[in-house]
Amino acid sequence: MAVKTKSIYEPAEAGDGVRVLITRYYPRGVKKDRFDRWVKALSPSRELLSSYKAGKKTWDQFRESFLAELKGSPESIEALRTLGAQSRLQDVTLLCYEREGVPCHRQVVRDILITPQVLSGDLNARLFEDHLGEKTNKASRSPKAPKVARTTSARIRFYSRRKVGRKAPK
C-alpha cells in the first residue's frame, strides 16, 4: 500500500485511505470530517517550527532537528510503528496545513514510513541516521531538547474527531 501526503485544505479523494492529520495545532477553518485521526506526536515542536518559519533554520537544519525530536520521543517512535503497520494494510495519507509544493515535515515522516525497516516493524535509532543519508557526527548536530524521564510505557494517542474542536471563548 502507499503513504501519500496532502494539504488538509485539499479535498478528500477515494484513494486517500486513512487520512491522518500530523500537526501540533488544529488548523483554522477545517471541519472535523476532513481527517480520520490526529497524531500530534508526529509534528515538530513549537520552537523548531517557529525557528524554521522565521528563517533561522534552513530546510536541512530543520529536517535534521525534526528527526532528532522524533528519535528522542518514545511516543513518536510508537506512532511511526503504528502507521507503518497500518500502511501495509491500506493506504495512508499524511495531512498538514502547508500547501502542496512547500517543504513540510509530512514529507520527512512519509520518507521514514516507506523505509524497509519501518515496514518490517524493525524501527531503531539507526533508521534515523540512515534516513539522513549520511552519518552525522555529534559536533555538527543541533542542540537537542532535554530528555524527560517517563515512568510509564509510551502510548500513542490518536485523537478522534469528536474530541477536536475549538475552546469556548472566555
**Burial 35-57, CB ≥16 within 10 A → b, else e:** bbbbbbbbbbeeebbebbeeeeb
Mean pLDDT of 44-67: 91
Per-residue model confidence (pLDDT) at position 141: 44
Is 144 within a domain? yes
8 pLDDT higher than 90: no
Closest CA relative to residue 122, chosen from 84, 88, 92: 84
- The DSSP code for 102 is S
pLDDT in tens, 60-82: 999 999 999 999 989 999 999 88
Specify burial of residue 19 (Cβ count, 10 A radius: 0-12, 13-18, 19+): buried
Phi, psi of 26 (to 5 degrees): -70, 130
Compute the average pLDDT of residues 35-64.
90
| The total number of residues written for the chain in this structure | 170
pLDDT confidence of residue 139: 40
Asked whether residue 116 is domain-assigned, the answer is yes
Residue 168: the pLDDT is: 60
145: Cβ contacts below 8 Å, ≥ 6 apart: 45, 47, 69, 72
Per the structure, the count of domains in the chain is 1
Whether 43 contacts 20, CB under 8 Å = no
pLDDT tens track for 127-155: 555 554 443 444 444 444 444 444 444 45
Place of cell 543541533: 142
Model confidence over 84-104: pLDDT tens digits?
888 888 899 999 888 776 788
Q: Among 42, 21, 45, which residue's Cα sits nearest to residue 31?
A: 21
pLDDT confidence of residue 138: 40
Average pLDDT over residues 37-41: 89
Chain mean pLDDT for the chain: 75
Type of residue found at 39: V
Q: By residue range, what is the domain housing residue 30?
A: 3-156
Instruction: Tell me, yes or no, whether 167 lies in a domain.
Output: no
